Amino acid sequence: MKNKIIISLFFFMYSSSVAFSKNDLYEKIDLFSEVLENIKKEYVDEINQSEVMDSAINGVLQSLDPYSAYMSPELFKEMQTDTKGEFGGLGIEIGMEAGVVKVISPIDDTPAAKAGIKAGDYIVKIGSEQVQGKSLLEAVKLMRGPVGTSIDLTIRRKNVKKPLEFRIMRKIIQVRSVNSKIIGKEKNLGYIRLKSFNENSDKQFLKSVKNLETKSKIKGYVLDLRNNPGGLLTQAINITDFFLNDGEIVSTKGRKISETRKFFARKGDEIKGKPIVVLINNGSASASEIFAGALKDHKRAIILGENSYGKGSVQSIIPLKNGGGMRLTISKYYLPSGKSISEVGVTPDILVEEEGEDFLINTDNDNQLNYAIKLFSS
């Protein structure tokens, strides 16, 4: 059984377009078997061979990119609990960077956001467990737990010398994706905060636009995608389409023909050409980058804030015969300009970094939002 797993593992690694002879392949399989046997015989502690094999499989997937990973049957079952926008946890979207767990963004109004976790933070310790060497999904599992219990996170933050420690209470996370209000001294600007691209976000978004239009003579819109980790591609396309009369929104390219597609805007700008400022930061990822990037490429909006995260790929969850699963990158996003978002993100037209230790999104101390409001009066 072990050899069968090893062979399957290496066929997965080398069944690409890269030339690799059968003799080389079998030599690598023999080498891998030799390493396992030496670990079994010589390693200082007793090991669980099943866990070692799981780690090896996960190592193959994570060597591809930060978003591909293996899920054991137990973990695969647990990971299917948060697909409808409600789940128990801390309220952070995380990814991997150089073997370390990195915060993509804290979700608004969740325990993590209220505790002060920021986009770009590195999680180095969860409770008493060191994170280095663990997979992304193992880290997620450690952070999950019964509602009402707390967990200690040790964080490394850019430009902060000492590690930061946070105690966060686990709660049921309910993601309400759209908030809106009228802002500006003359009360003529529409502010819409889009926290994620969940099911029905497009309907909530359009409803918010219509409500704002009936309340005031709206001069323009500030669309806030800061700390929005993304979500459904279809929602990103639908919401971007609100503001474009025509043209490409996004394209995806993969090895399969079915994963290589282009998506175009339909005629009709829901706000009839009114000016738009889109706010982004390092926590704006994936679908948020598609939205901001498309409006930037079409010169339909001014993008303001900080460079976005740079997650420009699509993952598919593939069930496995053992009851587990694998998350595998199957295609990449490309903006209308043809540029990839992966690892580079979207660069703002106007760079405005958050200022002050008391900075909070959508408050009087929000210098990025204040700058956006001034643009409409200049």
> Is 82 one of the catalytic residues?
no
> Strands 302-305 and 350-351: what pairing?
parallel
Catalogue the E-assigned strands of 122-213.
Answer: 122-126, 129-130, 150-156, 164-169, 171-174, 178-183, 189-194
> Is 311 one of the catalytic residues?
yes
Out of 72, 105, 201, 286, the active site residue is: 286
Q: Which residue has tokens 């078997």?
A: 33
Out of 141, 195, 296, 311, the active site residue is: 311
Q: Is-contact 222 189, C-beta < 8 A?
A: yes
Query: 61: number of CA atoms within 13 Å, CB side?
Result: 25
Contacts with 357 (C-beta within 8 Å, 6 or more apart), sequence order: none
Backbone angles phi, psi at 30, to 5 degrees: -60, -40
Catalogue the E-assigned strands of 5-65.
Answer: none
Out of 297, 308, 313, 366, the active site residue is: 297
Structure-token pair, residue 375:
């643009």
Question: In the chain, helix, strand, coil percent, each to 5?
Answer: 30, 25, 40
Phi-psi region of 238 (alpha: psi -120 to 50; beta: other; left: phi over 0): alpha
- Pairwise CA distance, residues 179 & 212, whole Å: 11
Structure-token pair, residue 76:
């695969």
Cα-atom radius of gyration of the chain, to the nearest Å?
23
- Pairwise CA distance, residues 305 & 309, whole Å: 12
Q: Is-contact 142 129, C-beta < 8 A?
A: yes
Q: Is-contact 168 88, C-beta < 8 A?
A: no
Structure-token pair, residue 118:
């920021």
Active site residues: 286, 297, 311
